[in-house]
Structure 1
């Protein structure tokens, strides 16, 4: 009798599905771990979908990409992974196309710049999950003491930095070109100089005339004049620069939304303006997105799609964005946030999103190119550095990696 009952039980459960999701942790403590966000979302979803179980594992950003790679390499891919890069998996035909899983209204709701950044050779595989942009943060107290107004051009930024240095400010402009996140600071400056990593769709343009001129200016007019503080830019990491700003030791730096909370918690009064450019405020800001992916291995396209439609509902996108001071990746949630008083502090970043440019994440070579930029770009602004030579070497490396990986 027991065997018969067990057999019935198995038969009755034949349509039940367990979806496995690996996600990154955006929290900075156990109190606001992303696990809490996912637990709440999954509980609500499973309540209305009794045949579906969603098993979520959350890892820190330091290990989540490696954990997913190990799973895929072992032939045990999760159904979904929320990670930093997707192009390698797409190139290996391991991911569902976005159009294979999401409903048409949800797919169409993504902010267009982010949806486009999720494409490999014109087909979208990466679903943007969270995004942010950069603004120039400045310390209002230090600026008032020096009688300054926020800069709108490079020349004004250098003048302000000189005045701050004369007032004894430790880091007039903090320039983090250390190995932690040099690719971000670099791209913001390249864009402000009218360049970028890929000025054409088909190839890298790291050593373009505009990019060389940008790093020549940084080396000669900012770093060379002692305006970037006591830690050499090639040794200064982003986390240390943010901590110094929150401690009141930085006059200006590029920052993303999370810096607001850190600075406010230490009582630092700050303002935010678009990044200065050669002749005026930069028209293109740097945007960053993290990616949701759907792996084909387990064949749960329909169930994955239904769950992700729920994940990308207006309410859930807003809840996540507000919890972690990030920007919504959908138009519907962006419109709500843009009009809501409670989100007024994020509006300046939100305004930059339609004008933003992301890393070339659709290129399968980008992860390795980014790693090389992190290691080497800081050398361009050292006393003995040669921006044209460093950028030229990076261009050669990028081209070689691009050809080797098939783009």
Structure 2
């Protein structure tokens, strides 16, 4: 099986979390050429870490066997405490690891702190990098420079109740407009169900609507970012999404405050005929009342047969700029982040690989992944690559605009105009 692969240029960027100020020039990482001794690695602690540790231990043993005199020391960090540890390491290289896992939404802030080495040339020389999904690789890039290997990615698609659709003679929607009509038809026939469970606070469900309608949240001009949420295209997307939060689909009284996880939980609990959920939500849905009674298709776009661009989440593996073992650290990143161990991580944890050929192999074995991988390979998007996005995201600027429109507080022009002004203040534009 081979999915469509669109070499679309994604919006680059990431969200920074509590980063330290820049410490030094980011042009050349410190490299002493050390090839023996301890290689320090930081990875994130999972809720259930045993499966991850088993794969990492296998990679560590393989690496140590291939490199005499090298010991790989892996430390697992709590995700919630990562800002303190990373900021400390950026300011004190003695406490820094050589290799680290980090979220792609943290990248802009980390590069502003000059924390990670520029791996652009290193990845260009790595043959396997040609098979990385282009838009996913873009999530590791800021201002044309690449700072990590995408270790896994995650995206969202449309979950729907197969039993409800069969009973009502419905087919999965093929456009966003048809999705609205289908959701409304379900609610009319079954008033006890939401036509689709979505929330005013579900930003990652909103973004595909904006992008599918030809809009974006911001644009970059040189070093300056400016909001475009008040463009005609972005307004159309936001209004189309807000229409789902209505009494005849998903009532504002119940849905205006829903987050993404709450929206998925409503579907899993049998309260909705559809929802927008991630490949990473599979376990939660299967643990609910709808197990065995749902299907998944890509979230459709504006035009028939198109796929709405999805947000590409995921984590990266990078080399700390302060590492004195740059070449050795890069080799470990290529091993743990390469095709062999990405496939093993999928088998152990269900993490979606970032190489197209590995994606195709795992989807052939597990059809559940097909719509998510098709979504990734059709082209994904990302948030603005500036630390200012931290303020915008934390303030809930876009969700507030959706809630204002859905509840009738403001019309779409006024809500997006206010959102644009707030975003531009954060951007300093």
TM-score by length of 1: 0.83
- 1:49 counterpart = 2:71: no
Q: Which runs of 5+ in 2 are unaligned?
A: 1-33
Q: Separation in 1 of the partners of 2:187 and 2:296? A: 20
Judging changes above 3 Å, is the alpha-carbon distance between structure 1 residues 78 and 403 closer, same or farther for their aligned structure 2 residues?
Answer: farther
Contact 2:198 2:244 in 1 (8 A): no
Partner of 1:217: 240
- Deviation readout 1:375-401 (Å, 9 max, x if unpaired): 634433223144333322332333333
Given that residues 100 and 301 in structure 1 are in contact (C-alpha distance below 8 angstroms), is that contact kept between their aligned partners in structure 2?
no
Which residue does the alignment assign to 1:190?
210
Determine the structure 1 residue equivalent to 2:391: 368
CA distance in 2, matches of 1:246, 1:22: 34
Residue matched to 2:19: none
Change (3 A) 1:21 1:358: farther
2:173 pairs, out of 151, 165, 169, with 151
Q: CA offsets per residue over residues 132-188 of structure 1, 9 Å max, x none?
A: 22211101112223332212233322222223223134322111332xxx3312212
| 2:295 corresponding residue in structure 1 | 271
Q: For the structure 1 residues 293 and 393, does the alpha-carbon distance in structure 2 shift closer, same or farther, using more than 3 Å as the test?
A: farther
Between the aligned partners of 1:39 and 1:229, the Cα distance in structure 2 is 49
Structure 2 match to 1:4:
none
SS in 2 for 1:168: coil
CA drift at 1:28: 4.4
* 1:83 partnered with 2:102: yes
- The alpha carbon displacement at 1:104 in A equals 2.4
2:366 to 339, 343, 346: 343
SS in 2 for 1:275: coil
- List structure 1 segments (4+ residues) > 6 angstroms apart after TM superposition: none
Structure 1 residue 282 displacement after superposition: 4.1
Name which of structure 1's ranges 123-132 and 277-286 shifts more when overlaid on structure 2. Answer: 277-286
Question: Structure 2 CA distance, aligned partners of 1:190 and 1:229?
Answer: 21
Does 1:63 pair with 2:81? yes
SS in 2 for 1:290: strand
Q: Which residue of 1 aligns with 2:21?
A: none
Q: Which has the higher contact order (CA 8 A, sep 6+)?
A: 2
Q: Counterpart in 1 of 2:140?
A: 118
CA 1:19–1:171 in structure 2 vs 1: closer, same or farther (change >3 Å)? farther
Moved more, 237-246 or 58-67: 58-67
In the alignment, is the contact (CA less than 8 A) between 1:35 and 1:58 conserved in 2? no
Q: 1:321 aligns with which of 324, 346, 354?
A: 346
Following the alignment from structure 2 to structure 1, what is the Cα–Cα distance between the partners of residues 326 and 294? Answer: 47
Report matched runs for 1:31-42 at 5 Å: 32=51, 34-42=52-60
Shift of 1:307: 0.7
The corresponding residue for 1:175 is 198
Helix, strand or coil for the counterpart of 1:128? strand
Q: 1:152 to 1:60 in 2, by over 3 A?
A: farther
* Superposition pairs of residues 242-257 of structure 1, within 5 angstroms: 242-257=264-279
In the aligned structure 1, how far is the partner of 2:120 from the partner of 2:300? Answer: 39
Q: Do the aligned partners of 1:86 and 1:293 also contact (CA within 8 Å) in 2?
A: no
**1:8 corresponds to:** none
Question: How many residues matched?
Answer: 383
TM-score in terms of structure 2 length: 0.79
Q: Report the 3-state secondary structure (helix = DSSP H, G, I; strand = E; otherwise coil) of the residue aligned with 2:366.
A: helix
| Cα distance in structure 2, aligned partners of 1:52 and 1:94 | 24
Q: What secondary structure sits across from 2:180 in the alignment?
A: helix
Alignment match of 2:159 (pick from 118, 127, 137) = 137
In 1, Cα distance between equivalents of 2:84 and 2:128:
29
C-alpha distance after superposition, 1:83-116 (max 9, x if no partner): 2221222233332111365552244442221222
Matched, 1:237 2:256: no
Structure 1: any 5+ residue segments left out of the alignment?
1-13
Partner SS for 2:61: helix
**Aligned counterpart, 1:382:** 407
Structure having the higher helix fraction is 1
* Residues 251-271 of structure 1 deviation map (CA, whole Å, 9 limit, x = unaligned): 111111123333234424112
Contact 2:209–2:308, Cα closer than 8 Å, also in 1: no
